[in-house]
């Protein structure tokens, strides 16, 4: 199984934001945003910070995909 952050990118589009905006409002590093963009593993702290800032739940920003 693989984690997909497509829901996060869709949310950003719906809110008229881009990855740089996400970086600025969450305080995450560019490297962390790049990891999300590549679908790489990030810590739960990162995911919780995004959810807290964007006022959403984990299921709103990620999903599991079959390989």
Confidence label for 5 from pLDDT (cuts 50, 70 and 90)? very high
Whether residue 1 has pLDDT greater than 90 = no
Domains by residue range for the chain, with CATH: 2-65 (1.10.260.40)
Got the DSSP string for 2-66? Answer: EEE-HHHHHHHHHTT--HHHHHHHHT--HHHHHHHHHT----HHHHHHHHHHHT--GGGT-EEE-
pLDDT in tens, 17-47: 999 999 999 999 999 999 999 999 999 999 9
Whether residue 67 has pLDDT greater than 90 = no
């Amino acid at each position: 199984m693989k984690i997909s952050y497509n829901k996060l990118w869709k949310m950003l589009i719906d809110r008229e934001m881009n990855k740089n905006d996400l970086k600025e409002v969450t305080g995450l590093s560019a490297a962390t945003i790049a990891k999300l963009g590549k679908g790489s593993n990030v810590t739960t702290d990162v995911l919780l910070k995004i959810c807290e800032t964007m006022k959403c739940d984990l299921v709103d920003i990620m999903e599991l995909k079959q390989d």
